[in-house]
Structure 1
Amino acid sequence: MRVAVTGTPGTGKTTATDLLASDFEVIHLNEVIRERELTTGRDDERDTLITDLDAVASWLDDREDVVVESHLAHEFDADGVIVLRCAPEVIERRLHERGESAESARENAESEALDVILGHAVQNHGEDAVYEIDTTDRTPEAVAAEIDAVIAGEREPSAGTVDYTDYLR
């Protein structure tokens, strides 16, 4: 079984997956991409690497009983996709605290309000394979417990349950 944990930067993916009780291996995909140079170049405007999705898919191909964590995790084969959600204002603050530019923090907050990652996850995997978890007012331990519940089959799919469109007004 392969589970993807995805979401806009700043939603708590890395923190929560580091606390999982599951025996599944956690793959922090962004680290793998950097370390193995699974890229096609650099986006100078955004100051980011451009991921080679085919190379990553090939690297992931034979891995089972894993949790794949990244804002890109929903782009790859998975039995279930967990989309971590968080209030855009909180994302913006967290990204500022990490040293992201105001423009980048705002762009990510707007993407969260527009359900960009959720939409891609549903498009790629179908509603019946997508689970939303709102991390805004939850501790990392509580979020990890929710992820563990999905892995254990104790939680129903829940795509479309979180709404942050008020942020855009």
Structure 2
Amino acid sequence: MRVAVTGTPGTGKTTAVERLADADGPASGLAVEHLNDVIHEEEFVVEHDDERDSAVADLDAVADYLDGRDDVLFESHLAHHFDADRVVVLRTHPEELERRLTDRGESDAKAAENAESEALDVILSEAVERHGEESVYEIDATETEPEEVAAAIEAVVAGEREPQAGTVSFLDYL
């Protein structure tokens, strides 16, 4: 099984997946790939976007890297761009997202851009468009401890959670 964990930067993907990797359960049989690390380690960066102060990845190279890998859970804000059986989209209220991003040193402009993206459901919409509603699992991680988010991802992997998309709304932010 291939499981993608995606979401706007700052939603808690890496932290939740790290907690999940430390737990016993259905997900423990999956290899974990942190795609942002893979992109840098494998030199899949094709340019640097100075305006956004971010690396631009060669998505075809990442897809090739993942090709043939089964029993893998991969996480990144780009994870929904790749073939997966199930796609978990972590969501966080934009105000909390902005706080998290600025706390970790992101510029106010980058934090605001990501918060707006979260309010507009950009990653969720892309995930549903590519994978269909029947494969997308939305989780609101705003006030949820990382262990609880990891347990929710584990439930997705185990088939104990029904797909859902569009249940979280942050339009109040706009």
Q: Is TM > 0.5 for Structure 1 vs Structure 2? A: yes
> What is aligned with 1:2?
2
Gaps of 5+ in 1: none
Q: 1:10-89 maps to which residues of 2 (within 5 A)?
A: 10-20=10-20, 21=23, 22-23=27-28, 24-89=30-95
1:110 and 2:116 aligned: yes
Gaps of 5+ in 2: none
Count of aligned positions? 168
Question: Which AA in structure 2 matches 1:87?
Answer: H
Question: Which AA in structure 2 matches 1:12?
Answer: G
RMSD (CA atoms): 0.6
Matched position secondary structure for 1:71? coil
Supply the distance in 1 between the matched residues of 2:69 and 2:89 (Cα, whole angstroms).
20
Supply the distance in 1 between the matched residues of 2:10 and 2:53 (Cα, whole angstroms).
17
Deviation, 1:40, is 1.5
Deviation, 1:39, is 2.0
TM-score by length of 1: 0.98
Q: 1:103-142 maps to which residues of 2 (within 5 A)?
A: 103-142=109-148
Supply the distance in 1 between the matched residues of 2:68 and 2:41 (Cα, whole angstroms).
19
Matched position secondary structure for 2:134? helix
Supply the distance in 2 between the matched residues of 1:37 and 1:165 (Cα, whole angstroms).
37
Q: 1:144-159 maps to which residues of 2 (within 5 A)?
A: 144-159=150-165
TM-score by length of 2: 0.95
Where in structure 1 do 4 or more consecutive aligned residues deviate above 2 Å? none
